[in-house]
């Protein structure tokens, strides 16, 4: 086969530093637009974005030529820089160091889109800690180190 074809989808989850609720409605659209632009610049696509005031969920398609780690580093760096430039009163905005990155098969894209779309409703009943613990348990990922920090 002369060409290379890939289908690499990820559900990415990451929180604001110390889970401070800084993602307000006036910031949300621009923040997700910035993240979309970072992904486009890396030959990726943002398929769905959502979250709450203290964390985001992204459904993304990544190029075969980039790593999840470098992509997340660029998304976090560029988006926090965008917040600092556009919202001078939020110079303390930052992301936590860690993240969750879960592969998604073609047949699971619809379910993950719906899950991300319902984040605000979902978190009226479920904390971020409970959500992340559940996401890890569903995938048989052991919670290691010092666990999920607040």
Question: Which domains, from first to last, does the chain contain?
Answer: 9-138 (3.30.70.1290)
The pTM (predicted TM-score) of the whole model is 0.89
Task: Identify the band that residue 150 occupies on the pLDDT scale cut at 50, 70 and 90.
Answer: very low
Q: How confident is the model at residue 37 (pLDDT cuts 50, 70, 90)?
A: very high
Q: What pLDDT is recorded for position 138?
A: 82
CB 129 within 8 A of CB 150: yes
Q: Which residues pair with 12 in a beta bridge?
A: 58, 101
Among candidates 86, 84, 28, 87, which has minimal Cα distance to 58?
A: 28
Indicate the pLDDT class of residue 1, thresholds 50, 70 and 90.
Answer: low
Residues 114-141: tens digit of each pLDDT:
999 999 888 888 888 888 788 888 878 8
User: Where are the strands (E) in 4-54, listed by range?
Assistant: 9-15, 45-52
Sheet-wide strand order for 55-61 = 45-52, 55-61, 9-15, 100-104
């Amino acid at each position: 086969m002369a060409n290379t074809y890939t289908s690499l989808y990820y559900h990415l989850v990451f929180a604001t530093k110390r889970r401070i609720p800084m993602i307000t409605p006036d910031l949300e659209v621009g923040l997700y637009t910035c993240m979309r632009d970072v992904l486009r610049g890396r030959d990726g696509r943002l398929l769905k974005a959502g979250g709450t005031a203290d964390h985001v969920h992204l459904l993304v398609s990544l190029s075969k030529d980039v790593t999840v780690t470098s992509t997340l580093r660029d998304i976090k760096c560029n988006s926090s820089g965008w917040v600092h430039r556009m919202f001078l009163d939020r110079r303390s905005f930052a992301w936590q160091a860690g993240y969750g990155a879960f592969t998604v098969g073609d047949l699971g894209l619809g379910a993950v889109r719906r899950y991300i779309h319902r984040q605000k409703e979902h978190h009226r009943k479920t904390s971020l800690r409970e959500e992340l613990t559940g996401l890890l348990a569903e995938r048989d990922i052991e919670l290691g180190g010092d666990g999920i920090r607040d």
